[in-house]
Amino acid sequence: MSISDRLPVFPWDRLEPYKAAASEHPDGVVDLSVGTPVDPVPEVVRRALAAAADSPGYPLTYGTAALREAAARYLRDRHGVADADPAAVLPLIGSKELVGWLPLLLDLREGDQVGYPDLAYPTYEIGALVARAEPVPYGDPVAELDPARTKVLWLNSPSNPTGRVLAAAELRRIVAWAREHGILVVSDECYIELGWEGAAPVSVLHPEVSGGSHDGLIALHSLSKRSNFAGYRGAFLAGDPAVVSELLAVRKHLGMIVPQPVQAAMIAALDDTAHAAEQKARYARRRTALRAAVEGAGFRVEHSEASLYLWATRDEECWETVGDLAKRGILVAPGEFYGSPGTHFVRIALTATDERVAAAVSRLSPDH
């Protein structure tokens, strides 16, 4: 059996007929189905990339010392990880690469289990399947996972798709349980800067959660959403020095290297807060407009206190909602893509231009 035979159909391929239907709208499709950035790459990032363009030699898998220090500084200054260590940072070719490859890089085998939220980004499951491990969705990891077989426990706060934020006390409870059983906790924190309501999202590496030790913990950070960096493919992980060392040793052999100009651009993005604040303000305006329109159109929005999505329902089967919105020229993602608890929800992305968001707001109006 080939690897592809072990994997489900790529979810977004199933959306193509609905995208075609939405595209027939006289004013074109408003695509709110994916979380891809649409705004310009910040000038500070582009300048850094161009300045490093003359990079003829092989870059380091470990990244430059300047990049690792920038990542550690970012964790210290922006997320309160006072003990962030540049030596325990590893650059990545985008965060999805690590999500998909981690079980294989850690040498998980048949019989091993990978826990991930029962409403989650599909690639957590895919990574387990590629490694022939068993993916296990959970509602509460402490209550539902088998501690004898679980080797990796994925957290995702703020959540994709729901926008739910796990409080520090909840994270601390999960971390304590995982450490008791020798389970590696990997926290996908790519939306951590995009909190809107309630308490600010907190990193699993924060002392309030970690207890001042990063043993058994890895945090995954992406620049895609914060810095419109998705086309550059730049991210990093940090945490347990022993795990970072093991991943580095394997990745050296496999050539999993972030290009040198991208590393330079990452430093510029991590060190500059002005562009991140400007981008967050853009998303805040779009979120306010879309949420009012969605609720005005009869939807109930649940969670969505953070991240780049509205998790919405009309208490009907999700594909029925997708089809109805496609008739209005609006494309959204069915909640089924993210797990069985999402079958009556849709995920509505904030990643569209102001003009397209305004078009969606108009189309959702009762008078439209």
Q: What is the pLDDT of residues 270-287, one digit of tens each?
A: 999 999 999 999 999 999
Q: ∠ at Cα 108 (102, 114), nearest 5°?
A: 70
CATH number at residue 224: 3.40.640.10
The number of C-alpha atoms within 13 Å of 28 and in the hemisphere containing its C-beta is 8
Q: Are residues 23 and 118 in the same domain?
A: no
Q: Are residues 202 and 262 in the same domain?
A: yes
| Cα gap 42→358, rounded to integer Å | 23
Q: Are residues 109 and 251 in the same domain?
A: yes
Length of the chain: 368
Percent of the chain with pLDDT over 70: 100
Position 125 scores a pLDDT of 97
Q: Is residue 47 part of a domain?
A: no
Position 12 scores a pLDDT of 83
Position 7 scores a pLDDT of 83
Domain C-terminal end among 216, 249, 272: 272
Q: What is the pLDDT of residues 341-364, one digit of tens each?
A: 999 999 999 999 999 999 999 999
Q: Are residues 172 and 224 in the same domain?
A: yes
| Cα-Cα end-to-end distance for the chain | 51
Using the predicted structure, report yes or no on whether residue 3 has a pLDDT greater than 90: no
Q: pLDDT band at 215, cuts 50/70/90?
A: very high
Q: Is residue 35 part of a domain?
A: yes
Q: Is residue 46 part of a domain?
A: no
Q: pLDDT band at 57, cuts 50/70/90?
A: very high
Smallest Cα–Cα separation from 230: which of 12, 39, 29, 102? 39
Q: Are residues 141 and 223 in the same domain?
A: yes
The number of C-alpha atoms within 13 Å of 33 and in the hemisphere containing its C-beta is 27
- Rounded to an integer, the average pLDDT of 214-230 is 97
- Rounded to an integer, the average pLDDT of 224-231 is 97
The H or E element spanning position 239 is strand 235-239
Q: Are residues 108 and 155 in the same domain?
A: yes
Total domains in the chain come to: 2
Q: Is residue 45 part of a domain?
A: no
- Rounded to an integer, the average pLDDT of 55-78 is 98
Q: Is residue 90 part of a domain?
A: yes
Position 366 scores a pLDDT of 83
- Rounded to an integer, the average pLDDT of 162-185 is 98
Q: Are residues 120 and 254 in the same domain?
A: yes
Coarse DSSP helix, strand, coil percentages of the chain, rounded to the nearest 5 percent: 45, 15, 40
Q: Is residue 65 part of a domain?
A: yes
Q: Are residues 254 and 285 in the same domain?
A: no
Using the predicted structure, report yes or no on whether residue 36 has a pLDDT greater than 80: yes
Chain-wide mean pLDDT for the chain? 97
Answer yes or no: are the C-beta atoms of 96 and 124 closer than 8 Å.
no
Q: Are residues 101 and 68 in the same domain?
A: yes
Position 109 scores a pLDDT of 95
Q: Are residues 19 and 107 in the same domain?
A: no
Q: Are residues 122 and 211 in the same domain?
A: yes
Q: Which residue segment(s) compose the domain that 74 sits in?
A: 54-272
CATH number at residue 311: 3.90.1150.10
Using the predicted structure, report yes or no on whether residue 321 has a pLDDT greater than 80: yes
Position 205 scores a pLDDT of 98
Residue 184 is classified by DSSP as E
Domain C-terminal end among 218, 239, 272: 272
Using the predicted structure, report yes or no on whether residue 1 has a pLDDT greater than 80: no
Domain C-terminal end among 234, 249, 272: 272
Q: Is residue 234 part of a domain?
A: yes
Using the predicted structure, report yes or no on whether residue 94 has a pLDDT greater than 80: yes
Q: Are residues 203 and 244 in the same domain?
A: yes
With the C-alpha atoms ordered 280, 285, 288, 294, is the resulting torsion angle positive or negative?
negative
